[in-house]
Structure 1
């Protein structure tokens, strides 16, 4: 498959990288890193609203998964707290509805609401959902998700007991809704699980076409690893720079063959991850379910393992300084390790490929 980013997509990525460099998320996080979970800064909220990024996948904007992927990659590189993929996917699905819930798409895009997508774990228990007349009864625990503590509500995608697929809007402050914050390796984002046991009124849920839930599961799996790719790219750049500056025996350590090989391996695994993830992005924009599932799991399995390896090599090349709290290496590594496990671990995606 021949693939290259368009000039517009490259400009989009460059613009977002410049904004993130100006409003460095790690610099903003450092003063409060020991005092509580990472929160989404107001400046970041205004930026994604004013830039129209939340509405990127809606019909009016006409963006693609490749467009959103270049942005998620940049947010991963910068260690941003913004759940851009979760918000954009929720807004796009709401925008498709012929239902009162569709008004939430405009609220999300305009910043009046913050309603990210929430799913059950692909390798755990599904939500228990049942239609009772005009109401929807739903219970269960969601997969770990980021920035739920900053949300005004949640868009829950589930499959009911009779196979009907539904989307339900659940306000964050509601009886039968609990958000349990998790302590994870990742210090650059907050992680929580949503615990549900409630009845949803008719105006807050809608049926969606069969296959919507699996599509959203694939999309989130893809974006989780795209985030890890951005972090890995930053580690490659930092490691190469460090190898050119750190000296031993009177010369930069980058001149030693072993270190050269380490840096080459990091670059190789990062570039191969990018290739597999771009193939998955193209498949997500298509309509072939089989091709999409295979492409996403192949990319998630490879990139999940490869980015984790890149993080380990970066730590080895940095040596002692890489173990310090003040260095950014551990923040990027922690982020990659959590991305590796969520929305389908490497082993889960390999099993899915083997059974395809």
Structure 2
């Protein structure tokens, strides 16, 4: 094994050991019932003790300067335990969109606080019932007002939108889609009912909310696309961690639960289910790892394609693994007391979070020439 892989394994062990104590099932259930949805002390330790909050933030902005491969390792471990935290929004999407903007002044001003965990940030994109990748559906506007802009519009399904202290928002100007940084004090925030209570979503309304332009005006579409692709790579890794844990729960139960005097794992139907899950989980891990690897090599030109392959496959694999886990557990799997349904809720919610499976599959089809591009 290479030194790099050795380093990844050490990182995996450290994160798993930390989350074993910081995110047991009992704590997940406690936090998902709170309005904030996360433990500030755990968040502080993730930042200070492990340096994970600033993982992908360059060292010059106070981060660790790690890449997508390391991020995938961390996200997979968080997915295994259903960690309740604003990690995807504040430690992945927000830094990604700021770095992609190329705005050095904004990065210098905002990234250090994000990296050390003192500032929570999120990305506000989706509107109405449209997919987050449907940029044509964005109707929020930004009107110049001196050295600032005023935002008007409503964003839906904003991850951690009620707790973030910085709202990185995409809005239209006369020059096209642009990225803005808005303070939450000037916005109306409302928590949304969610299928997955371990990940909080909000509706954020802007009515003349002051904001400052990030990057070049009219350049947000490409910036946003790249940031969402990195988010998809990270989310795919999280999905593989959750799917792998579902497989483990299923195998453990099949070995210990007895019917007709023998473990249910001895029955062919259960064997087939577990074997199929193993194949899907390993394939999902390969897709996620390949996407993370390609992200570090922009010369291939396949980063977007790999992100969508992982996004589509890992979403489907996780949903299937979670659903089969409930089936293998039988009656107990359907109860609130068992964790299987928490994984299914996370799986179904995640499958729509950063682009639906159909969106990713259509993109893959276009990239490989199965259908003409628009």
- Which residue of 180, 200, 203 corresponds with 1:193? 203
For residues 1-356 of structure 1, what are the structure 2 equivalents within 5 Å? Answer: 6-31=5-30, 36-37=34-35, 39-50=37-48, 51-60=50-59, 61-89=64-92, 90-91=94-95, 93-94=97-98, 97-99=103-105, 102-120=108-126, 121-123=132-134, 125-130=137-142, 132=144, 134-157=147-170, 160-163=173-176, 165-166=178-179, 168-174=180-186, 177-201=187-211, 204-208=212-216, 211-288=222-299, 290-356=301-367
The gaps in structure 1 that reach 5 residues or longer are none
Question: 1:268: Cα distance to partner?
Answer: 0.8
Count of matched residue pairs: 349
Measured at CA, do residues 123 and 288 of structure 1 come closer, stay the same or move farther in structure 2, by a change above 3 Å? farther
Measured at CA, do residues 228 and 257 of structure 1 come closer, stay the same or move farther in structure 2, by a change above 3 Å? same
Measured at CA, do residues 283 and 171 of structure 1 come closer, stay the same or move farther in structure 2, by a change above 3 Å? same
Measured at CA, do residues 263 and 241 of structure 1 come closer, stay the same or move farther in structure 2, by a change above 3 Å? same
Q: Is the 8 A contact 1:87 1:114 kept in 2?
A: yes
Measured at CA, do residues 288 and 45 of structure 1 come closer, stay the same or move farther in structure 2, by a change above 3 Å? same
Measured at CA, do residues 298 and 338 of structure 1 come closer, stay the same or move farther in structure 2, by a change above 3 Å? same
Note the alpha carbon deviations across 1:287-326, whole angstroms, 9 max, x for none.
2585112111111111111111111111111100101111
The gaps in structure 2 that reach 5 residues or longer are 127-131, 368-374
Note the alpha carbon deviations across 1:136-184, whole angstroms, 9 max, x for none.
3433333523322222222224564424643x2211221xx12221112
**CA RMSD after TM alignment:** 2.6
Match in the other structure for 2:129: none
Q: Which moved more, 1:191-200 or 1:39-48?
A: 191-200
Q: TM-score, normalised by structure 2?
A: 0.85
Note the alpha carbon deviations across 1:268-299, whole angstroms, 9 max, x for none.
11111111111211232232585112111111
Alpha-carbon distance between aligned partners in 2 of 1:139 and 1:355, rounded to the nearest angstrom: 34
Question: 1:98: Cα distance to partner?
Answer: 2.5
Question: 1:14: Cα distance to partner?
Answer: 1.3
Q: Is the 8 A contact 2:183 2:210 kept in 1?
A: no
Question: 1:104: Cα distance to partner?
Answer: 1.8
Alpha-carbon distance between aligned partners in 2 of 1:94 and 1:158, rounded to the nearest angstrom: 15
Question: 1:265: Cα distance to partner?
Answer: 0.7
Question: 1:127: Cα distance to partner?
Answer: 4.8
Note the alpha carbon deviations across 1:85-131, whole angstroms, 9 max, x for none.
32223235546633256222111222332123333321362253446
Measured at CA, do residues 127 and 286 of structure 1 come closer, stay the same or move farther in structure 2, by a change above 3 Å? farther
Q: Is the 8 A contact 1:159 1:213 kept in 2?
A: no
Q: Is the 8 A contact 1:68 1:85 kept in 2?
A: no
Alpha-carbon distance between aligned partners in 1 of 2:73 and 2:38, rounded to the nearest angstrom: 20
